[in-house]
């Protein structure tokens, strides 16, 4: 066998393994209590947050994080504010919390419920966030990362994998 043929055979044998290694292993997550399913590129961990929960997965360098927060909305807030106002306040709170700047913003929906998508830039990071108001709950799926890094799961794919299911309160 010539060297070129041997090299071509080695590349052909190794290429599928390399291609497979570049595809992240998807880790499904379901919360019957909070009424959603999602997919993460790393093993997600649950962390209680007040009356709600945050489910997050990130790389060991702490430079990429995928997370979903779910929290109840107080009945008084729902009576006093419109849904667009609650979404505006949520986006403003997220931007102010990280001292960021809104790069893009648009209205979105999930299963007929209203939401807002926002891309935030800050010092050394970028965040792709969505906020949804579903009855008396707020869901906030987001991807936060250093802009120079390649994401193992695109932000759009992460958001598309976030789905509502019937919750068991």
Q: pLDDT digits over 113-142, tens only?
A: 999 999 999 999 999 999 999 999 999 999
Mean pLDDT of 97-103: 92
Kindly indicate the confidence band of residue 169, based on its pLDDT and cuts at 50, 70 and 90: low
Q: What are phi and psi of 159, to 5 degrees?
A: -65, -40
What end-to-end distance do the CA atoms of the chain give, in Å? 67
Question: Which domains, from first to last, does the chain contain?
Answer: 25-164 (3.40.1000.10)
Reported as type and span, the H/E element at residue 156 is helix 155-161
Q: Contact at 8 Å (CB) between 43 and 57?
A: yes
Q: What are phi and psi of 151, to 5 degrees?
A: -75, 140
Kindly indicate the confidence band of residue 168, based on its pLDDT and cuts at 50, 70 and 90: low
Kindly indicate the confidence band of residue 24, based on its pLDDT and cuts at 50, 70 and 90: low
Residue 6 has pLDDT above 60, yes or no: no
Q: Which two tokens stand for residue 159?
A: 């958001």
Q: What is the DSSP letter of 33?
A: T
Provide DSSP, 61-101: TSSEEEEEEEEE--HHHHHHS-HHHHHHHHHHHHHHHTT-E
pLDDT of residue 2: 39
pLDDT of residue 98: 84
Mean pLDDT of 8-29: 51
pLDDT of residue 142: 96
d(CA 90, CA 11): 50
- Mean pLDDT, the chain, as a whole number? 86
For residue range 40-65, list pLDDT tens digits in order: 999 999 999 999 999 999 999 999 99
d(CA 152, CA 33): 28
């Amino acid at each position: 066998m010539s060297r070129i043929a041997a090299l071509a055979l080695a590349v052909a044998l190794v290429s599928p393994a390399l291609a497979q290694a570049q595809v992240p292993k998807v880790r499904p997550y379901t919360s019957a209590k909070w009424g959603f399913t999602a997919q993460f590129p790393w093993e997600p961990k649950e962390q209680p947050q007040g009356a709600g929960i945050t489910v997050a997965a990130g790389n060991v360098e702490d430079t990429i994080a995928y997370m979903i927060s779910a929290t109840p909305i107080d009945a008084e807030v729902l009576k006093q504010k419109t849904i667009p106002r609650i979404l505006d306040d949520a986006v403003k709170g997220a931007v102010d919390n990280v001292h960021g700047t809104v790069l893009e913003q648009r209205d979105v929906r999930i299963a007929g419920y209203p939401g807002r998508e926002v891309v935030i830039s800050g010092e050394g990071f970028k965040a792709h966030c969505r906020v949804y108001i579903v009855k008396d709950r707020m869901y906030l799926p987001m991807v936060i990362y250093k802009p120079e890094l390649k994401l193992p799961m695109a932000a759009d794919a992460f958001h598309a994998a976030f789905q509502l299911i019937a919750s068991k309160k």
